[in-house]
Amino acid sequence: MAARPEILFPLFAGLDVLDGIGPKSARNFAALHVETPRDLIFHLPHALVDRSRRASIQGLEFPATATVEVTVLTHQPPTGRGRPHRVNVRDDALEFQLVFFHARGEYLQKLLPTGQKRLVSGKLELFDGMAQMVHPDHILHPDDATTLPAAEPVYALCAGVSQKLMIKAVAGALARAPRLMEWIDPALMAREGWPDWHSAILAAHAPDTVADVLPGAPARARLAYDEFFAHQMTLALARLRQRRKPGRASNGDGRLRESVLSALDYSPTNAQRRAVAEIAADMAAPARMNRLLQGDVGAGKTLVALMALLIAVEAGGQGVMMAPTEILARQHLESLRPLADMAGVHLALLTGRDKASDRAQKLAALADGRIQILVGTHAVFQKGVEFADLRLAVVDEQHRFGVAQRAALAAKGVGADVLVMTATPIPRSLALAQYGDMDVSVLDEKPPGRKPVQTALVSTARMDEVVAHLRQAIDAGRQAYWVCPLVEESELVNLTAAQSRFEHLRAALGEGVVGLVHGQLPPNEKDTAMSDFVAGRTKLLVATTVIEVGVNVPNASIMVIERAESFGLAQLHQLRGRVGRGSAASTCLLMYEAPLGETAARRLKLLRDTEDGFRIAEEDMAIRGAGDLIGTAQSGLPRFRVADLERQAALMAVAQTDVRKLLSDDPDLRSPRGLAARTALWLMEQDKAIKYLSVG
């Protein structure tokens, strides 16, 4: 395993190597995720205080920060306990006061000798008609005035870390920063007007104007790019390593696909044709496919997945489709079976609940190649499940596997191609951040026949009307979902619990009509509730967001989402996608608690006005930010210190292109720029990537 380059050692020491930081201060800094000088270097100022000198405070609008030379007139010691010490001073035109609490009189006399001049800088406020500066930030002798910068950076702080300590610590960290070889493409640097790394960090900590603390400032943009570059390098190296593993070239002759397509009563969309062509080209190549199929709700991913599986069968091999839950696996089976039958392909389902005798038969048929396509849960990759010739694994990635799980799947020893499907439209920058190790196919058209879903906003005050509307629809033979935000009443968040809503609706609509499913139910009860609804035994399913993914009930044509304002846009869009799958006109009612805040109103109106999942995802990211959009905890999204995924999405795309070009020219990073890129990976704490290099 390669070791961290010596040139970076000074940046990875403990904070207590810096002047003025002892063990206690170092512990305080940890609250800011700052544990080394390197972390301090990337802890950039977020604002700027103007410390430029004025002759007088006259004409200022209070409160304001001012830097002014004054003559010390008189001292007024405290007049009682808890009262401040006041110092009367005069600038070129006006008198005002400096105010100090809990300060020793003799110390202040020394600091501000009567009759002498001093430069003071701090926040001025009006108090009883008198201008006063409480605890000035700086008090200097006129001879030392040049040591005060005209602009002073402002840092995020925490308990025990003052602005003064932060500025001193940052100066110490910057003094340890080495000059590094350049890892950015010279033409890109020239085009963007970016400084070298060392100049960039110095400039980022010494802004002259407000523009210098904005993301687009050259020094900051360069440092943001470095983070994107290191992140994309890690993903690209994972991808390269994956591709170096021997794959199998699977060339289909098209006969099975043709028999399915000719039997369909509609023709695939251009997006579906394009995705199938991209997948077929990948499968025909000797390198292993690692592709993401990204499609909006109802964009027809299942047909594309089947075409891919049929290529594997046409080439004389087998395919497997893995879903996160048994219910989804069964649904995939039901939607694939009629199509597979048209092609005369043998399809089977394997789950953890198969009886021993059934399981043994299936495993035998799988091992000798009689089962050509297997559908199942994670059970399909357990011990004892042997394929005769597995060519393709399709992963229905509703639970968003991270890079690590995808690698684990590929490491099962099968040289199979991998196709991952996701039904969550993801903004391009996030797709790059999360799936940069994969090639991406996007389904951005709806197949013919998918009816638009009418979406309406309804206040919770009209609950009785909604229930009456449901009663009529159920009497007419239709089915509906009712989604609740929480499982049990919480004191803090007054959102209706699924349990009590279920009881209320059961009382209103009748026993046996209403089912309940939520995340706390035991799996078998959850499955029973779902299968009762799928089979039409229950007409209304009260649920938490567990039904967000995958459930396909064509007869369900009404979706009620209670307290819709408490959900994210992408989640609402997913839930709405559960209806509009059959022949009946479908509606989605977004019930909200009035009055709606501005952001919530904007979200719900956007949802009412469009069914375009990609537009909704971009807007969701603009409103909530990238981390919230996919739940940073489980997203595998990198945490950037400088870069801003929302505002600098274009830089992420540039980084991906740059990295892929560098790796195609220098796959082992041995050229001067390649060696510099290795240093960048260590600097950005992407040690995982170094591991890929040393193993690769």
Is the pTM for the entire model greater than 0.95? no
Q: What is the pLDDT of residue 422?
A: 81
565 three-class SS: helix
88 three-class SS: strand
Give the pLDDT mean for 85-103. Answer: 92
Q: Which two tokens stand for residue 311?
A: 């290529």
Q: What is the pLDDT of residue 512?
A: 87
Give the pLDDT mean for 99-112. Answer: 90
Report d(CA 544, CA 201) in Å as an integer: 48
Q: What is the pLDDT of residue 403?
A: 57
For residue 621, pLDDT beyond 50: yes
Report d(CA 684, CA 682) in Å as an integer: 5
pLDDT band, residue 183 (cuts 50/70/90): very high
Q: What is the pLDDT of residue 8?
A: 94
For residue 231, pLDDT beyond 80: yes
Fold matches, 6-47+169-214 and 57-148: no
- The CATH topology of domain 453-610 is Rossmann fold (3.40.50)
The rounded percent of the chain whose pLDDT value lies above 90 is 46
pLDDT band, residue 629 (cuts 50/70/90): very low
Q: What is the pLDDT of residue 647?
A: 76
Q: Which residues contact 30 (CB under 8 A, 6 or more apart)?
A: none
- Cβ-contact 332, 323 below 8 angstroms: yes
For residue 170, pLDDT beyond 60: yes
Give the pLDDT mean for 568-588. Answer: 83
By mean pLDDT, which of 211-220, 357-366, 370-379, 443-452 is the weakest?
443-452
Does the domain at residues 6-47+169-214 carry the CATH identifier 1.10.150?
yes
Give the pLDDT mean for 248-262. Answer: 91
By mean pLDDT, which of 352-361, 472-481, 605-614 is the weakest?
605-614
- Cβ-contact 174, 198 below 8 angstroms: no
Q: What is the pLDDT of residue 634?
A: 36
Give the pLDDT mean for 107-113. Answer: 93
- The CATH topology of domain 255-443 is Rossmann fold (3.40.50)
Q: What is the pLDDT of residue 128?
A: 85
Helix axes 218-244, 649-665, angle to 10 degrees: 50
pLDDT band, residue 619 (cuts 50/70/90): confident
pLDDT digits (tens, 9 = 90+) for 282-311: 999 988 888 989 887 777 888 999 999 999
Mean confidence (pLDDT) of the chain = 85
pLDDT digits (tens, 9 = 90+) for 637-658: 567 889 887 778 789 889 988 9
For residue 494, pLDDT beyond 60: no
Superfamily grouping for domain 57-148: Nucleic acid-binding proteins (2.40.50.140)
More confident site: 486 or 585? 585
Report d(CA 57, CA 95) in Å as an integer: 9
Report d(CA 168, CA 87) in Å as an integer: 28
Report d(CA 218, CA 192) in Å as an integer: 8
Give the pLDDT mean for 167-177. Answer: 95
Beta pairing, strands 347-350 & 290-295: unpaired
Which residue ranges make up each domain of the chain? 6-47+169-214, 57-148, 255-443, 453-610
Report d(CA 352, CA 656) in Å as an integer: 40
Region at 369 (left for phi over 0; alpha for psi -120 to 50; beta for the rest): left
pLDDT digits (tens, 9 = 90+) for 153-164: 989 988 889 888
Give the pLDDT mean for 475-484. Answer: 92
Q: What is the pLDDT of residue 678?
A: 94
Q: What is the pLDDT of residue 135?
A: 92
Report d(CA 651, CA 659) in Å as an integer: 12
The rounded percent of the chain whose pLDDT value lies above 70 is 88
